Structure 1
Amino acid sequence: MTAILWLRRDLRRADHPALLAARDAADGDLVVAFVLDPALWAGAGPVRRAWLAATLEATNAEYDDALTLLWGDPRTEIPALAERVGATSVHVTRETTPFGRRRDAAVAHTLASSGVDWVETGTPYAVGPGLVRNGSGTAYKVFTPFAKAWRAHGWPDPAPRPSSLPLREARGDAEATAAVREALAAPDLPEMPGAGEQAAAVRWQGFLDDALTAYTGDRDLPGIDGTSRMSPYLKLGVVHPRTLLADLTSRRGEGKETYATELAWREFYADVLWHNPSSAWHDLRDALNGMAYDEPADAIEAWQTGTTGYPVVDAGMRQLLGQGWMHNRVRMITASFLTKDLHVWWPVGARHFLDHLIDGDVASNNHGWQWVAGTGTDASPYFRVFNPVTQGEKFDPDGDYVRQWVPELAHLPGKAVHQPWEHPDGYAHGYPKRIVDHAEERREALRRLDGVKGS
């Protein structure tokens, strides 16, 4: 019998329960496949396409060049593949996003009509979304009690990596191969990390050895390499969070607990999306119904291009364009600037981030935006408006991060980079003037909040 393993957000060979289930079901051949959906591919943006393409190449190497790449709608491509190879079962890691769940239901229905088994094994998370419940059996709405219950629930040990597999030779589509090559050759791509399981393992081990001990304090400082940078690998399932959590158990100190809590945030947001599918692109809470939002095209463009005149905001937006990644603290600062200083509804920023972030994950990204905007779970109150100057001075006290990404300010010493308007040579090298006055826009944000409360 032939079995198919359909990869999606699980582009790895290690700690892969669905792979083991597919191997055990394959008395004959195991076909490992990935489908490039033209609709998703076209909407992903060049950075995300290139990161996926690089990861697919690395995954193909992990599977001994036996990855079958298909081009088309998975709802038709997977059933057609099953018929072509005579598969009796299709194996997947359980999907958790609203779109993925709808797609999988359609594929499973079509396969069932042909007598092909649909088998879901495992989840992209340590604890599958929907499994952590409170005492009354309902979902958690606040992070802290969720995290406590999540830890108490626990998770299995990592699954073993199979040493050998009965892999069938890859027979993919020319369109899919061409799309991957074109994505990797796209012009003006940012500098990206190494792709695939081996690159992820090297990065993770380096973090454990060099940065975990100081992680609690260093993770908020964008000017140093104090974070794990594992989010791009987690996004595509190159590494499973269960693997990371297992590796943390042998470590000592506060850093490992802080890092586990950051993973819990990722799992919490996936749980929120599971229970509230519409929150992907709509306010989770209706506390700000009636809020007046603006769509200032020129100001939004300045935000997107890192030319707002506020150094830490501009540094973050330029890092996004330059690396396809942005430090988490700066994500909050830039999101606050768009939503509170420019009064733009959060989905505008969330879509821009997803276009450029190689770790762009709908659950984490969009609920993070809602946290800042004041519409989400555990939301930062709307009246909490990040001051881009004081945030820069606090988290980039020596100005190293700003000088790295805003070369027009490289001549300014120390924290002077955060207020170039106060330095006689602040604009000597062409740095743009501020597009808004933060103090005035803060007052405007609070005025709009009062209007919502009044209504």
Structure 2
Amino acid sequence: MSRAASILWLRRDLRRGDLPALGRAAEAADGGSVLVLFVLDPALWKGAGPVRRAWLAATLEAAREAYDGRLCLRVGDPAKVVPSVVEEVGAGSVHVSRETTPAGVRRDSAVAASLAEAGVDWVETGTPYAVGPGSITNGSGDPYKVFTPFSRAWRDHGWPAPATEPSGVTFARVASDDDGWKTLREARKADGLPDLPDAGEEAALSRWREFLDDALTAYKGDRDRADRPGTSRLSPYLKIGAVHPRTLLAELDGRTGQGAQTFETELCWREFYADVLWHNPRSSWHDLRPALSGITYEDNEDLVEAWKGGRTGYPVVDAAMRQLLTEGWMHNRMRMVTASFLTKDLHVWWPVGARHFLDHLLDGDIASNNHGWQWVAGTGTDASPYFRVFNPITQGQRFDPQGDYVRRYVPELAHIPGKAVHEPWKHDEGYDHDYPERIVDHAEERREALRRYEAARGSQSSGSSGSGSS
């Protein structure tokens, strides 16, 4: 039987560098070996869409290589598997990065309680964030509810330097479950998968350096342009922990310019939403702002399916939804546009869209995704966004001015030149290639959305509905 002095249980930290929990596990081993463990939970595996399963599979295979082939993969309920592995290898401690999502906290509490009964130490070191959720509060000791003051406090709080990898650590070789790696291989071969980016820590760092060299300087202006490769594309790696935000922030330190500042702010948004979820666990699937919980919603399956399939008749919405299906990713500006269309043009409750995104996004993170949806829907952290209704025509004209993004994903409109592609109904040949007509009239639905929000707010909304479309 293989023995291990300590266990490093990986979850959202599938890397070897800048991993404080690895250092603590090596320290606890005190010259003995460390078992690197991943538990494939059937409940979570089944709940993830094919895209996220394939991305996890690819990242785990890369992590196994990073750990010299000594990543032990077990399948089952972690509350049973982890104590069983501890007993099997004789480990005295289990080391993890602290989890902060509601499901992760419940799981870890159960595992920690079971280990405590057996006299095994449970050690949490670090989190998937530069500043752990719950660490920042205002002067009254309460959590921040609005992003801007949180971002100031986040910067003032600061974060530690990247963790140094321990030297001389020995990784235990312990057999995986027979069907574990087979399950992952099958996931990578599932039908209908998009082309995945290269997976793993090395690929994440390579992508980061490419972004630093080629796109950071222009990031502030280019990040909203759907037709340009102006974003980092690091969100899938951050979601799964192939790279830590602390690593990125350390390399931004000392860089001047609006691009670096803006990218740091975008990382802060991720940390803000994680903090909001930590303090408000129900907000993962329920309205954060109960004042708007009385909004009436529609349940029109045909309209929702048209939105999911990129057949709404609004070119930039359709291009974005098709990008999601073909790449497992969507440009951030387009996430807001498509979310606004579902919630305010089709009057559908935001969890319907949030679930669809989680089913298809490589970077499907419950805190960022679901609170981003609430921000657009008007039930989340922004002070008063209920009257903000994104105009899918002007958004396309502004952030895809020559129509290149639309033509890339909507081939039915490839024959329409320039910005005219955003209004095919004005082009003589706009519907010659089976492109659908608009399923709703945006101007009418905008008025209806504002009416519904005003009705939900009652007297609180007096005078605030005068803002226009974005």
Fold agreement, TM-score > 0.5:
yes
Paired residues for 1:23-62 under 5 Å: 23-27=26-30, 28-62=32-66
Q: 2:27 is matched by which residue type in structure 1?
A: D
SS of the residue 1:119 aligns to = strand
> Are 1:246 and 2:238 matched, yes or no?
no
Q: Does 1:15 align with 2:27?
A: no
C-alpha contact (below 8 Å) 2:340/2:376 kept by paired residues = yes
Verify: 1:70 aligned to 2:36, yes or no.
Answer: no
Cα shift readout 1:295-353 (whole Å, capped 9, x = no counterpart): 11011001111111110000110000011000000000000000000000000000000
The farther-off stretch of 249-258 and 63-72 is 249-258
Work out whether 1:262 is the aligned partner of 2:266.
yes
Structure 1 residue 165: Cα displacement: 2.3
Identity across matched positions, percent: 69
Match for residue 212 of structure 1? 216
Give 1:244 shift: 0.2
- What is the match of residue 135 of structure 1? 139
Query: Aligned pair 1:316/2:320, yes or no?
Result: yes
Letter matched to residue 19 of structure 1 = L
Structure 2 counterpart of 1:403: 407
- Which residue number corresponds to residue 107 of structure 2? 103
Question: CA RMSD, aligned part only?
Answer: 1.0
* Whole-angstrom CA distance in 1 between matches of 2:384 and 2:53: 32
Residue 25 of structure 2 aligns with an amino acid whose one-letter code is A
**Partner-residue secondary structure (3-state), 1:443:** helix
Offset at 1:290?
A: 1.5
**Matched letter for residue 92 of structure 1:** V
Q: Any residues of structure 2 matched to 1:417-436 within 5 Å, and which?
A: 417-436=421-440
- Give 1:205's aligned amino acid: R
Q: What is the total number of aligned residue pairs between the two structures?
A: 455
Q: Per-residue CA shift, 1:58-83, capped at 9, x if unaligned?
A: 00000000000011000100000000
User: Could you tell me whether the CA contact under 8 Å between 1:341 and 1:442 is conserved in 2?
Assistant: yes
Match of 2:343 in 1: 339
The Cα offsets for residues 165-215 of structure 1, whole Å up to 9 and x where unpaired, read as 211114111221121011011111101111001111111000000100000
- Work out whether residues 371 and 379 of structure 1, in 8 Å CA contact, stay in contact via their aligned partners in 2: no
CA apart distance, 1:253: 1.1
1-structure distance, mates of 2:260, 2:377: 29
Superposed counterparts of 1:152-301, under 5 Å:
152-301=156-305
Which segment drifts farther, 321-330 or 249-258?
249-258
8 A contact 1:370–1:379 mirrored in 2: no
State the alpha-carbon separation in 2 of the partners of residues 424 and 53 from structure 1.
Answer: 48
| Normalised TM-score (structure 1) | 0.99
Query: Contact (CA 8 Å) 2:146, 2:383: kept in 1 or not?
Result: no
Name the SS of the counterpart of 2:128 in structure 1: coil
The alpha-carbon distance between structure 1 residues 379 and 34, as it changes in their structure 2 partners (threshold 3 A), is: farther
CA displacement at 1:251 relative to structure 2:
2.2
Unaligned runs of 5+ in 2: 460-470
Q: Indicate whether 1:361 and 2:368 are aligned.
A: no
Matched residue of 2:92: which SS? strand
Taking the aligned partners of 1:323 and 1:26, their CA distance within structure 2 comes to 42
Distance 1:180 1:277 in 2: 30
* Contact 1:372-1:380 within 8 A present in 2 as well: no
Asked if the contact 2:226/2:399 (under 8 Å) is kept, the reply is yes
* Unpaired stretches in structure 1, ≥5 consecutive residues: none
- The offset of 1:121, in angstroms, is 0.5
Tell me the CA shift for residue 273 of structure 1.
0.4
